[in-house]
Amino acid sequence: MSVETWTYIIVGITFAVYIYIGYWARVRDTQGFYVAGRGVHPIANGAATAADWMSAASFISMAGLISTLGYDGAVYLMGWTGGYVLLALLLAPYLRKFGKYTVPDFVGDRYYSQTARLIAAVAAIFISFVYVAGQVRGVGIVFSRFVGVDIATGVIIGVAVVGFFAIIGGMKGVTYTQVAQYAVLIIAYLIPAVAISSVLTGNPLPQAGFTFSDLMPKLNQIHQDLGFAAYTASTRPMIDVFCITMALMVGTAGLPHIIVRFYTVPNVRDARVSAGWALLFIALLYTTAPALASFARYNLIQTLNGKSLEEVRAIPWVAKWEKTRLLQFTDKDGDGRITFAPGRAFNLKSGRPDFTSPNPASRNEVYFDNDIIVLSTPEVAGLAPWIIALVAAGGLAAAMSTASGLLLVVSSSVAHDIYYRLVNPGATEAQRLLVGRVMIGVAVVIAAYFGVNPPGFVAQVVAFAFGLAASSFFPIIVLGIFDKRMNSQGAVAGMLTGLIFTTVMILLMKSDVLFGQPAPALPNWFGISAEGIGTVGMVLNFVVAWAVSRATAAPPEDVQHMVEDLRIPRGAGAATAHD
């Protein structure tokens, strides 16, 4: 059977499973809708957390970034992995012990301020929509290539399925659907990695093949022969490497759709256990990504470089990816052959050969979108059609699992934190549930728009979301747990400072992408790129929050006692009241 037929079968089966689970897990109360009734088993929550966290950026884009950027792409690997450890050890148990539904709930109650709650809710909505744009774009890419529909149609199909199980099942439906999605995405990631490692290195374990074979020296040599820096060499300023890694780490620890996962387990101990399981599940993919990225880079260059245009376009997978415009060729020198070289081949806005880039004399004649590296790798390696289809299903599972968690954050921020907490505190259970479901529907429509009109490639968009989370939520949560002197004035000032600074800087640094300008208004800031500017926003948040809190009145005594109680180990005194 063809790749397309296999894709219809495998994607159809997985979608049917997701819809069935969503229907089976349907809920009728707000606790089930927002925190799955706090009854999720730690192992299931670990798998759901891994699926929620390993988004389209992890499955589709991260290996693509490492493949394209080499050593410099590893900042995404370090940042996202280290960030989860930070979240699991530093924040998750305390937030679960606090016992609320959402991050804005924690901020509002800890800082005894409806203003702080509102700012946190707006920030959660903003971050979630920035993040979901990347996920929905991933859905569109998979559908456009493997199902044969245009990106807009693929986006609509994907968000419709996500909307179904999120609306009727809430967090309970999303959680158990994510368990199934984790199984699909990890199998889809590991099978081609094992197969390609066996072919290229003779070792079926990708991590071992990547580490102990001669593939990396070969790839370094090929890169240098083509005019690139060595694949394992860094070209970023060290301050930018540090800031991007830090922004991704603390951004991970501040992402509201990940934090809320630790509210779904019965108690603090289960929150810690589920964090451990999630780290194990995440490690299976993240230790494989550098190997798969290197294999993909090697195969892609070997397959395309130096070949004639006729030879290349006769390859079935090339012709199919060209139709999506995510893979393009141009013959700049007129020799009829494809040349890999540093520099851009196309102006991405016009889709035409690029002679206006900073290096218009570049000999590069190939453009491939970072987001197709993982999806195309099984085809480039000549693997069986069912494996290619399975990877497509894995990409959809990764994108949809995270999208569903983000849609719930948007819903809970509006329905619970704004409508119930601020607008209508007397709302009935039925009213709150109705508003929550309506808001998921609204969020689905907005997410579909972003999927059809994406602001950037998946991992780039997601990196911005992490920067915003780093500069808004992380400092306020950490200070809220570990500094009893931290007050509402400091929290409000810190969040506003971090969020506004980071947003403005990203807009300036990416003005060429966002507003169609020939060059960004601000290329970088003292060597720090847009992906790392969230670290500066985080520092400003910490400094402003601490300074303002010391210059104003201390929090009420009961709030200070609550913070002290929050840090007492489980089972000691009054702490058990929060479990």
The residues near 385 (Cβ < 8 Å, ≥ 6 apart) are 1, 2, 3, 5, 6
Shared domain check, 352 and 387: no
Please list the residues that pair with 443 across neighbouring strands.
Answer: none
**Amino acid 577: pLDDT:** 36
3-state SS, one letter per residue, for 284-295: HHHCCHHHHHHH
The amino acid that residue 391 corresponds to is V
Q: Which among 440, 425, 391, 380 has a CA at the least distance from the CA of 160? A: 440
Structural domain including 512 reads 3-27+43-300+376-565
**Do 536 and 247 form a contact (C-beta atoms < 8 A)?**
no
Shared domain check, 399 and 285: yes
Please list the residues that pair with 329 across neighbouring strands.
Answer: 366
Q: Indicate whether 526 belongs to any domain.
A: yes
User: Strand, helix or coil at 367?
Assistant: strand
Q: Choose the final residue of a domain: 352, 368, 384.
A: 368
Shared domain check, 390 and 361: no
Shared domain check, 338 and 293: no
Please list the residues that pair with 48 across neighbouring strands.
Answer: none
**Amino acid 574: pLDDT:** 39
Shared domain check, 219 and 100: yes
Q: Indicate whether 274 belongs to any domain.
A: yes
- Strands (E) in 480-576, as ranges, are none
Shared domain check, 289 and 141: yes
Mean pLDDT per 10-residue segment, the chain (579 residues): 86 87 80 77 89 76 83 84 81 78 84 90 82 74 74 81 80 85 90 91 92 92 90 88 90 77 82 86 90 90 88 85 83 85 74 65 80 82 87 84 80 84 86 87 83 61 76 90 93 94 87 68 86 93 96 93 77 38
Q: Choose the final residue of a domain: 348, 368, 388.
A: 368
Q: Indicate whether 316 belongs to any domain.
A: no
Shared domain check, 363 and 421: no
Shared domain check, 103 and 69: yes
Residue 453 CB coordination number (10 Å):
12
Please state the domain count of the chain.
2
**Amino acid 104: pLDDT:** 86
Shared domain check, 392 and 346: no
Q: How many CA atoms are closer than 13 Å to the CA of 541, on its beta-carbon side?
A: 30
**Do 53 and 83 form a contact (C-beta atoms < 8 A)?**
no
Q: Indicate whether 260 belongs to any domain.
A: yes
Shared domain check, 234 and 105: yes
**Amino acid 578: pLDDT:** 39
Residue 574 CB coordination number (10 Å):
11
Q: Which among 165, 201, 387 has a CA at the least distance from the CA of 298? A: 201
Q: Choose the final residue of a domain: 368, 393, 419.
A: 368
Residue in the structure block whose two tokens are 């799955």: 36
Shared domain check, 96 and 53: yes
Q: Indicate whether 572 belongs to any domain.
A: no
Q: Indicate whether 332 belongs to any domain.
A: yes
DSSP state of 43: H
**Do 480 and 542 form a contact (C-beta atoms < 8 A)?**
no
Q: Which among 165, 163, 187, 175 has a CA at the least distance from the CA of 51? A: 175
- Cα separation, 258 vs 285, in Å, equals 18
Shared domain check, 275 and 192: yes
From the CA atom positions of the chain, what is the Rg in Å? 24
Cα 421 to its chain centre, rounded Å, is: 29
- Cα separation, 429 vs 420, in Å, equals 10
DSSP state of 37: G
The contacts found for 551-554 with CB under 8 angstroms, 24 or more apart, are: 552/487, 552/489, 552/490, 553/487, 554/485, 554/487
| Reported pTM | 0.80
Please list the residues that pair with 9 across neighbouring strands.
Answer: none
Q: Indicate whether 51 belongs to any domain.
A: yes
Please list the residues that pair with 458 across neighbouring strands.
Answer: none
Q: Indicate whether 579 belongs to any domain.
A: no
Q: What is the CATH number of the domain that holds 507?
A: 1.20.1730.10
Residue in the structure block whose two tokens are 């009420």: 556
